[in-house]
Chains A and B, each alone.
Chain A
């Protein structure tokens, strides 16, 4: 069938028949072609072959402390608040010395997963005294995979934690598979793993449509990439290199990987700083501040959270988010016993959001009923709410308030009568 296969099977059959005849006369069939000479990719001075372990290419580069990456200065990495990794990772990472963290990102032959996807380039980054040092482990062909992985494992043994972007789902399981296939021990087994994707999403998903590393570095760090290659084209670049031996197409790939690692480190630093000192977080957008406010409040720091809610409201929020922020901060104020502030927030909410108005009225009614004992105001608010959104609960509340009012009136009237009699 013409459609059923991309192959010309008839041609293949003829070739098999031909090679069978050759096989009877000539050399073995499995014999491979001669290996072609391999050009070392990248600037030659940066390449170093590690002796005794088979060949692969290692490209090192130091990003000095004074260098800027977008609005971020590399030297900022020297003061990453390591302890913030605990809350940032939901308590799964407890290794707080950033100098023992290794930032890691892979470039692979595909995205489909499974044993047929290899990492041909593994980039790492680590904080050094003079700056941030990236190391690119690159296999020039598949027969270098074993030595590349062995060197990578040895390098990883200097660290106790790996920091990635989506590495829990992608990079680390993929590398674990590669180590397994090469029958090498799994270096990640003994390491902690901080995947910055999840906290980043938590902080920026309100504002950004996609939370890819490239989107984040542009929105958060103000980096605009030049001379980059889109991630989806990378496998093809490597395959072309394998076929042609020409490494020119790979240079942007190395560049891309290095940028990914530097951005990952800067972004992690940014994130951890936000959690470490939320009030000083350099967030300008109301949406981001709202996300951080929620996060900080969830971590149990309600005062800090409230302050961030206020900042978020001041910074400006879309209508729905504003309603959320007012509602949530009103709840927090109530929990902290600051009822006046709560009432103010609820009144604001009732003013700005038609949709949330009944809920605000109900909470205000509760306040007036239970704390102010002002049953009339409470009843008026409840009835307003009933007109907009009737419910059995509200009707029940209305009846109760009526009973309370009657009782109160009864006391007043009977008192009056008693007075009259007296």
Chain B
């Protein structure tokens, strides 16, 4: 720690901020009297003699029949918050059933073990099983007949359980609890899908006469109750009073030094992350390194394995960990981390979720994980209860990273981010309504989301998939609708990537909209740490043929985006400008691409493309600058246009930060309605939900317009570059030299108050 403090004191120090947390004592409550004696002694055998405050509170609420959402940090004993009430119910009623949902299969495996450690005390009547794509078919039959607790994932529930609910009749008749762990993972499209899967689940449970209670657990987000309520459509009681102890902890923001002031180029964050990790590893400190993609994970693993000190003849104490590794291999790595056999692990977000690897001395984040919640979640992996631990965020040169290190108070002090879902996205909803009709006829008086079910079903009847009879709509199609809907993204139409050099092997797939920008001809596609050159893009076949290459650049597609506003839901002034919220049509066409060198990010070439046009309806928040105001600024026409583009890029960065979403979830486009070249500019800047129908990001963006403007102004004011850089308005090559100045002026006009306001509470 002292090293960092000393470093920070130096001029031009890469240490941008240091925050420390003091150690916290545990706060306990005695075991509730209702807890079964067998469970109590099983817990005692694990060294649990009392409950933390949040565990006791959860137990009390759940036992009283309230839906509970638990929000406490990593490794605070969240699992017991739901396992204890569920097991206590099973102790009294051995026929009762519970469904646990986890976002990944690995988590379900992990939690099964934990459940059985205590559940074993109730004898062979309590049967918990995972049920997912890997479950063999004879085991599936046994699980449907006998399991009390089924640990699964939303995808399996959607495509494997609900459409066959009659086989699960016993389970649904006795269903008492639905546990949704890692609730924060269900935001955006995935969360919107889950909410609809739960609508279907509740219908089916209702058919079998049960009304299960919901227990959700979430990492720290601003609106856990709101998210739980949006996803389940039930009222919730929040439990957030964390009683778990924690040791002293330090959080360091590290910004690699600038090597080219003019272009705003910094030293490679990957190399810097490697150096920071070695600081810890070489001193024998157990360290977890998080990278944001597979490529960086592999590079860091390679560096650290080769160079970390180790006793002669011993295997390297560092390993990699990511989704592509085999399950057994991953279990082994988790075990070795817990036992201390491994000193270091480099991981993607695969280790971010609640997999039990014990607590470590240090966490190094190679690049900002994209959201405050993920950052806390990952850094929470460091946290010895009795010793000092440390987390270091090494910022990359991406605008979001630079914003965060430049605004440590945003990360540490401001209210945490909000997670948004839009279960009523019409495209998502109507697809799940099809599944619902397949599962049980939809009665006229039923509700499924906020839209009148009659209108939707009549629409489906016209398409020919349902038929009205006896006061209900019945499924009349030969298809199995759940197969056509993937919960992880909105469109089920994927492009497969075929390695033409390797016997036409399929190496992966890319969702529809992303395929246009990542798989166009001559694109460099990165997969599993390797680079591939796209030889052929077959739109009709939904295939891209690639060949492995060795090159020092990647490609960035140039897209023309046209926006047309269709309907306005809301309108408010902001300074001289007007802000709007409504529905838009986005027409996109990839017209070319740039070749960009790794590390330095310099533009080393480009190409033209003719790709098919794509159209999408979505929601957007937009800003309109009236022509007279722009004229009053007295910039040249081109300068103004560049400034508007630059401001759009800045707004997108701060919107991603503020709305807690992946920057790719938000699109930005500008439009000017002028017709002739001599007409005055009358432009609009659109921030749109980058999914058909929208997933609920533009409405909060509209609501927080003041905050977005203030943060945009602040980002522009604090960016150290001279006239624009990729961390603020965009690369200097793309925009003219006045872009930053004009963007600043525009942003300032939107903010009469120079101080950025706090994020308004929702």
- A residues contacting B by CB (< 8 A) are 1-7, 9-10, 12-13, 15-16, 19-20, 23, 28-33, 35, 109-116, 118, 141-143, 176-177, 180-181, 235-236, 238-239, 242-243
Interface flag for B328 (CB, 8 Å): no
A118 and B453 alpha carbons, distance in the complex (Å) = 22
The minimal Cβ–Cβ distance linking A31 to chain B, given in whole angstroms, is 7
User: Within 8 Å CB of B93, what residues of A?
Assistant: none
Q: Which of B426, B474, B477, B513 contacts A9 (CB 8 A)?
A: B426
29 inter-chain pairs at a CB distance below 8 angstroms, sorted by A residue, are A1-B512, A2-B615, A6-B463, A7-B430, A9-B426, A9-B692, A10-B617, A12-B456, A12-B459, A15-B459, A16-B451, A16-B455, A31-B454, A32-B444, A35-B469, A109-B477, A110-B477, A110-B479, A111-B478, A113-B164, A115-B440, A118-B474, A141-B467, A141-B470, A142-B467, A143-B469, A177-B167, A180-B169, A239-B477
Report whether B476 and A242 are in contact in the complex, using a CB–CB cutoff of 8 Å.
Answer: yes
Tell me, rounded to whole Å, the shortest Cβ–Cβ distance linking B306 to chain A: 45
**In this assembly, does B29 line the interface, its C-beta being within 8 Å of a C-beta of chain A?**
no
Q: Is the CB of A114 within 8 A of B480?
A: yes
| Cα(A112)–Cα(B492), bound, Å | 19
Chain B minimum-CB-distance residue to A2: B615
Q: Which of chain A's residues has its CB closest to B472's CB?
A: A142
Q: How far is the CA of A16 from the CA of B459 in the complex (A)?
A: 10
Q: CA separation between A281 and B44, bound complex, in Å?
A: 72
* B459-498 Cβ-contact flags toward A at 8 Å (1 or 0): 1000110011111101111111100000000111100000
- B444 x A30 contact (CB < 8 A): yes
Q: Is B614 an interface residue, CB under 8 A from the partner?
A: yes
Q: How far is the CA of A311 from the CA of B391 in the complex (A)?
A: 83
Partner of A180 from the list B166, B467, B566 (CB cut-off 8 Å) is B166
Q: How far is the CA of A3 from the CA of B614 in the complex (A)?
A: 9
Q: How far is B477's CA from A235's CA once the two chains are assembled, in angstroms?
A: 8
Q: A5: nearest residue on chain B (CB-CB)?
A: B427
Query: Nearest Cβ in chain B — how far from A192, in angstroms?
Result: 21
Cα–Cα distance between A15 and B460 once the two chains are bound (Å): 13
- A1 near B491 (CB under 8 angstroms)? yes
Q: How many B residues touch A, CB cutoff 8 Å?
A: 53
Chain B minimum-CB-distance residue to A180: B166
- Chain A CB within 10 A, most for which of B164, B431, B456, B478: B478
How far does the alpha carbon of A118 sit from the alpha carbon of B474 in the complex, in Å?
10
| A72–B493 CA distance with the chains assembled, in angstroms | 52
Whether a CB of chain A sits under 8 angstroms from the CB of B663 is no
Is B438 at the interface (CB under 8 A from chain A)?
yes
B439 interface residue, CB < 8 Å from A? Answer: yes
Q: Which residues of A contact B73 (CB under 8 A)?
A: none
Interface centre among A6, A112, A176 (most CB of B within 10 A): A112
| Distance to closest chain A CB from B542 (angstroms) | 9
- Given known A13-B426, A110-B478, A114-B164, contact A4–B692 (CB-CB < 8 A): yes
Please give, as numbers and ranges, the residues of chain A lying within 8 Å of B455 by CB-CB distance: 15-16, 19, 29
B520 interface hit (Cβ, 8 Å): no
Inside 8 A of A176's CB, which chain B residues have their CB?
A: 166
Quick one: closest B residue to A235, CB to CB? B478
Q: How far is the CB of A244 from chain B (nearest CB, A)?
A: 12
Query: Which B residues lie at the A interface, using CB under 8 A?
Result: 163-167, 169, 426-427, 430-431, 437-441, 444-445, 451-456, 459, 463-464, 467-472, 474-481, 490-493, 512-513, 566, 614-617, 692-693
Contacts of B445 in A (CB 8 A): 30
Q: How far is the CB of A58 from chain B (nearest CB, A)?
A: 19
Is there an interface contact between B164 and A115, defined as CB atoms closer than 8 Å? Answer: yes
Contact B452 A16 (CB under 8 A): yes
Known contacts A4-B492, A142-B470, A242-B467; 17 further A-B pairs (Cβ under 8 A): A1-B491, A1-B615, A3-B491, A4-B491, A5-B427, A10-B566, A10-B617, A13-B426, A23-B452, A30-B452, A31-B454, A32-B444, A32-B471, A115-B163, A115-B166, A118-B474, A142-B441
Q: Compute how far the CA of A23 lies from the CA of B453 in the bound complex, rounded to whole angstroms.
A: 13
Alpha-carbon distance between A238 and B490 when the two chains are bound, in angstroms: 32
Give min CB distance, A239 to chain B, whole Å.
5
Query: Can you list the 9 inter-chain pairs with the closest CB atoms, starting with the nearest?
Result: A143-B470, A116-B438, A4-B491, A30-B444, A110-B478, A29-B452, A30-B454, A112-B480, A116-B475
**Are the C-beta atoms of A181 and B427 separated by less than 8 Å?**
no
How far, in whole Å, are A23 and B491 apart by their CA atoms in the complex?
Answer: 32
What's the minimum C-beta distance from B123 to chain A, rounded to whole angstroms?
30
Residues on A with C-beta less than 8 A from B474 are: 118, 142
Residues of B within 8 A of A177 (CB): 166-167
Q: What is the chain A residue whose CB lies nearest that of B444?
A: A30
Q: Does B463 lie within 8 Å of A9, measured CB to CB? A: no
Cα A356 to Cα B444 with chains together (Å): 71
Asked whether A4 and B490 contact (CB < 8 A) given A114-B480, A239-B464, the answer is yes
Task: Quote the shortest CB–CB distance from A171 to chain B (angstroms).
Answer: 15
Q: A15-B455, A142-B469 are in contact. Are A4 and B163 (CB under 8 A)?
A: no
B541 to chain A, nearest CB (A): 13
B479: chain A residues at CB < 8 Å are: 110, 112
| Complex interface: chain B residues within 8 A of A13 (CB) | 426
When distances are taken between beta carbons in the complex, the residues of chain B under 8 Å from A29 are 452, 454-455
Interchain CA distance A31-B21 in the complex, whole Å? 61
In the bound complex, residues from chain A placing their C-beta under 8 Å from that of B441 are 142
Report the separation of the CA atoms of residues A112 and B480 in the bound assembly, to the nearest whole angstrom.
Answer: 6
Contacts of A19 in B (CB 8 A): 452, 454-455
A114 to B427, CA, bound (A): 23
Min CB distance B559 to A, Å, is: 15
- Give every chain A residue within 8 A of B456 (Cβ-Cβ): 12, 16
When chains A and B are docked, how far (Å) is the Cα of A268 from the Cα of B406?
A: 81
> Chain A contacts of B451 at CB under 8 A?
16
* Nearest opposing residue in chain A for B483, CB measure: A112
The residues of A that contact B468 with a CB separation of less than 8 Å are 32-33
Chain A residue with minimal CB distance to B455? A19
Residues of chain B within 8 A (CB-CB) of A31 are 444, 454
In the docked arrangement, what's the CA distance between A177 and B469, Å?
Answer: 19
Interchain nearest-CB distance for A32 vs B (Å): 5
In the assembled complex, the CB of A367 is this many whole angstroms from the nearest CB of chain B, namely 45
B490 — which chain A residues lie within 8 A by C-beta?
4
A4 touches B427 (CB 8 A): yes
Neighbouring A residues of B444 by C-beta, 8 Å: 30-32
Q: Which residues of A contact B163 (CB under 8 A)?
A: 114-116
